[in-house]
Chain A
């Protein structure tokens, strides 16, 4: 399978990655190689196999729906590149 630059640019936009023109070329080449190799999977007969999302063969545990943590606003914001008045600071989103 060959992946063109336009496809890579589209995936990069979905992933919120800004890529240079050189990077688009590089990743088009590398992704084409990788997906060419991955193509082998299409030939595998999976019959009625169920898709596996976890190897843990039990239901997720349940607990009482109560607050177990909190009151740690300072901890939560401690690593923010920009914070003010107890909030993360981001560029203006609404005009």
Chain B
């Protein structure tokens, strides 16, 4: 029999329903797995006592026949979600000791559905990064290694702790957030599934803001079915988030069963970026072949402005971040470094509390919003954003989904790409456009690089059409039959 930590969420729910094991047993196995995986630094805070108490409550509900959609399933929660009574850090020194007195809407929905919290997962500071090396609580290691090379690899970012925990079987699944690729890119690097929903699909209330017009919460799971289950719980309108959209949440799991025959898959010709490794291109071609074999029709589409998406993102996201992060002033929460005046208190607290990448982005954002530069940078970027969204709208007149690689390379070693911020930013070249356009995107593991590392494919869809995205993702998953496992697995 597979160990308890080897089960997918769907299999675990099945086993719980058949009383093959209890949530208390499942959760105890994960508490142990979390301990075994500590060298990965995937968790900032472990909450084993709370997990076991939640598991016992779950077993009691199930005994009464009142089990919810995710009852008894142990999860990691990205440490950007506010959790009542549990330290919430955003990976930043400036939130030292911050213990929310409220619960984020999305985590509340998960607990209402019966899920169990194992702990808070590590992340790039304020979700700013593509390698999970900027956290105040230390870098996260991927459980994967290149063949014949024992150097630690990055798990991707910013939801790197969630990705590493799920890949290493130190959580069944985890929540992530995605502002420019922070769910999809780490999912691709660690061989798991990650879904960034349509902007407005999940409530952002209680999730610490990075760039409010781009941030979305989403699931990071072992497979597409698990993503569909978890998405159904996380999604939904929330009066407390004025950008959350009041439309019905479909049955995503049921949607997986539908046929994809006759659907058109768009292949954007502009995505063949210079210097992209041949194996990424080959994986992409393989993906097109798999979808053709399932009866889908490939059509070439053009997204002419996506070549400017990354530069556009690096104006809009830092602009919003500089505004959102203005609240960290040493007065209302977290770290405080005294000064002779109120201004000095602000300056000292922010200097000590923010890390280098956060300072860099606050500086970029402040500059592009400052008098004399606003029109040239920020307004210009907002106009290009309109053109990027328009490109997708036109493309979707010709196709139902779009297929791209998830990232332009496999995971790299910790320490690489650190001298040049732009080289690091390039990791998000395929994921950023979906955030700017607000559309859903799914990362699915599809194969291995020559070095034995996971490579992902990305399925982009129309706004609020996560059903088709998941259905197509499931076709890729079945065809790829991705069964490779990382060098380290907890619980085995």
A: which residues have CB within 8 A of B?
8, 11-12, 14-19, 23, 26-27, 30-31, 33-34, 37-38, 40-42, 44, 46, 49-56, 58, 60-61, 63, 72, 75, 78-82, 88, 90-91, 93
Interface residue from B213, B347, B421 paired with A18 (Cβ < 8 Å): B347
Kindly state whether residue B63 has any CB partner on chain A within 8 Å: no
Are the CB atoms of A51 and B379 closer together than 8 Å? Answer: yes
Stretch at the interface among B7-15, B97-105, B144-152: B97-105
Chain B nearest CB, measured from A35 CB (Å): 8
Interface residue from B333, B343, B380, B387 paired with A80 (Cβ < 8 Å): B333
Are the CB atoms of B383 and A49 closer together than 8 Å? Answer: yes
Kindly state whether residue B276 has any CB partner on chain A within 8 Å: no
A residues near B340, Cβ cutoff 8 Å? 91
Are the CB atoms of B315 and A63 closer together than 8 Å? Answer: no
B residues near A63, Cβ cutoff 8 Å? 239
Are the CB atoms of A56 and B377 closer together than 8 Å? Answer: no
Are the CB atoms of B213 and A54 closer together than 8 Å? Answer: yes
6 intermolecular pairs with C-beta atoms under 8 Å apart: A14-B366, A15-B362, A27-B363, A37-B311, A51-B379, A61-B242
Kindly state whether residue B385 has any CB partner on chain A within 8 Å: yes
Are the CB atoms of B386 and A90 closer together than 8 Å? Answer: no
Q: Binary interface profile of B, 357-396, with partner A (CB < 8 Å = 1, else 0)?
A: 0011011101100100000110111111111011000000
Q: Known: A34-B422, A49-B387, A75-B101. Is A90-B331 also a contact (CB below 8 A)?
A: yes
Are the CB atoms of B385 and A42 closer together than 8 Å? Answer: no
B residues near A93, Cβ cutoff 8 Å? 341-342
Kindly state whether residue B335 has any CB partner on chain A within 8 Å: yes
B: which residues have CB within 8 A of A?
97-102, 199-200, 213, 239, 242-243, 245-246, 305, 308, 311-312, 314-315, 322, 326, 329-336, 338-348, 350-351, 354, 356, 359-360, 362-364, 366-367, 370, 376-377, 379-387, 389-390, 420-422, 436-438, 463
Are the CB atoms of A14 and B99 closer together than 8 Å? Answer: no
B residues near A56, Cβ cutoff 8 Å? 199-200, 243, 245, 438
Are the CB atoms of B383 and A46 closer together than 8 Å? Answer: yes
Are the CB atoms of A90 and B308 closer together than 8 Å? Answer: no
CA distance A82 to B332 in the complex (A): 8
4 tightest Cβ-Cβ pairs between the two chains A and B: A55-B438, A51-B382, A81-B336, A79-B333
Most B-side CB within 10 Å, residue of A11, A53, A55, A79? A55
Q: Known: A16-B343, A46-B387. Is A82-B336 also a contact (CB below 8 A)?
A: yes
CA distance A34 to B340 in the complex (A): 35
Are the CB atoms of A19 and B351 closer together than 8 Å? Answer: yes
Are the CB atoms of B331 and A72 closer together than 8 Å? Answer: no
Are the CB atoms of B382 and A53 closer together than 8 Å? Answer: yes
Q: In the complex, which residue of chain A has the Cβ closest to the Cβ of B315?
A: A38
B residues near A31, Cβ cutoff 8 Å? 360, 363-364, 367
Are the CB atoms of A40 and B360 closer together than 8 Å? Answer: no
CA distance A19 to B334 in the complex (A): 20
CA distance A30 to B424 in the complex (A): 13
Q: Known: A11-B367, A41-B380, A42-B376. Is A54-B243 also a contact (CB below 8 A)?
A: yes
A residues near B98, Cβ cutoff 8 Å? 79
Are the CB atoms of A72 and B101 closer together than 8 Å? Answer: yes
Are the CB atoms of B422 and A55 closer together than 8 Å? Answer: no
Are the CB atoms of A90 and B382 closer together than 8 Å? Answer: no
A residues near B420, Cβ cutoff 8 Å? 33
A residues near B351, Cβ cutoff 8 Å? 17-19
Are the CB atoms of A38 and B386 closer together than 8 Å? Answer: no
Q: In the complex, which residue of chain A has the Cβ closest to the Cβ of B213?
A: A54
B residues near A12, Cβ cutoff 8 Å? 363
Chain A nearest CB, measured from B96 CB (Å): 9
Chain B nearest CB, measured from A49 CB (Å): 4
Interface residue from B334, B341, B345, B366 paired with A15 (Cβ < 8 Å): B366
Are the CB atoms of B346 and A34 closer together than 8 Å? Answer: no
CA distance A54 to B441 in the complex (A): 18
Are the CB atoms of A44 and B308 closer together than 8 Å? Answer: yes
CA distance A62 to B314 in the complex (A): 32
Are the CB atoms of A90 and B345 closer together than 8 Å? Answer: yes
Most B-side CB within 10 Å, residue of A15, A53, A79, A91? A15
Q: In the complex, which residue of chain A has the Cβ closest to the Cβ of B370?
A: A14
Q: Known: A49-B387, A88-B332. Is A30-B360 also a contact (CB below 8 A)?
A: yes
Chain B nearest CB, measured from A91 CB (Å): 5
